[in-house]
Copies of this chain bind each other. A is one copy, B any other.
Amino acid sequence: MSLQASRNISRFWEWGRKIICVGRNYADHAKELKNAIPKEPVLFLKPPTAYVREGSPILVPLYTTNLHHEVELGVVIGKGGTAIPQSAAMEHVAGYALCLDMTARDIQDECKSKGLPWTMAKAFNTSCPISEFIPKERIPDPGKVNLWLKVNDQLRQSGCTSQMIFSVPYLISYISDFITLEEGDLILTGTPKGVSAVQQHDELQAGIEDIVTMRFTVDRQDH
């Protein structure tokens, strides 16, 4: 049996090799962090070790005192490609996942002010909680779905992907011009406004309309 044959796209987090994240893709969120509206997508990476699934906790790194949730639509790549035209982009999508882009905001602010990469703020273990895989058919238009997130039953984020500055096909085309996309890659498409800090013992719930929900608890890193 070949390596290829043992891959199941519905468990992309076990073997996928890239998580490409888009920052500031909702104008209202860019404004709440006092950032400029970008003319081109702002991209950063998380490693696959950032994935965490329901049943395991989100861990607050020891070095942050301001860990934020960012609820995002994740796009799972089913067919790889380079320089994919926007018109063909959706053929490369296998499905979706609801994702959190957990962000050490204090560290990110420090990196931004010092001109340093965002790795410590964005790429730590458990910085990418994800839902189950959502087959493409269940979201006919990724540009028109509502995302929400609650902390301890209080609604914090609620937004529609129609508010995105750069659409899913635009992002796939833009990224694949200089980073080849592969089967199992995940693109996080940015967060609507309402990001806020979480603490040990908080419970996060998030969902996409009636399509998926997920629940995570927050714990401290213990070493």
Binding site for B on A (CB under 8 A): 1-3, 6, 15, 17-18, 20, 23, 42-50, 61, 63, 82-83, 111-113, 115-120, 122-125, 177-180, 182, 221, 223
Inter-chain contact A115/B117, CB cutoff 8 Å? no
| Cα A180 to Cα B179 with chains together (Å) | 24
Known: A45-B123, A49-B18. A61 touches B178 (CB 8 A): yes
Q: Which residues of B contact A63 (CB under 8 A)?
A: 178
Q: Which residues of B contact A43 (CB under 8 A)?
A: 117, 119-120, 123
Quick one: closest B residue to A182, CB to CB? B49
Inter-chain contact A124/B179, CB cutoff 8 Å? yes
Inter-chain contact A45/B42, CB cutoff 8 Å? no
Quick one: closest B residue to A43, CB to CB? B119
Inter-chain contact A45/B48, CB cutoff 8 Å? no
Q: Can you give 28 contacting A-B residue pairs, CB < 8 Å?
A: A3-B3, A3-B6, A3-B15, A17-B17, A17-B49, A18-B47, A18-B48, A18-B49, A20-B47, A23-B117, A42-B117, A43-B117, A43-B119, A43-B120, A45-B46, A45-B117, A45-B123, A47-B179, A49-B179, A49-B182, A61-B178, A82-B125, A113-B115, A117-B118, A120-B178, A124-B178, A125-B178, A177-B223
Inter-chain contact A17/B179, CB cutoff 8 Å? no
Quick one: closest B residue to A111, CB to CB? B115
- Closest Cβ of chain B: how far from A18's Cβ, in Å? 5
Q: Which residues of B contact A179 (CB under 8 A)?
A: 47, 49-50, 123-125
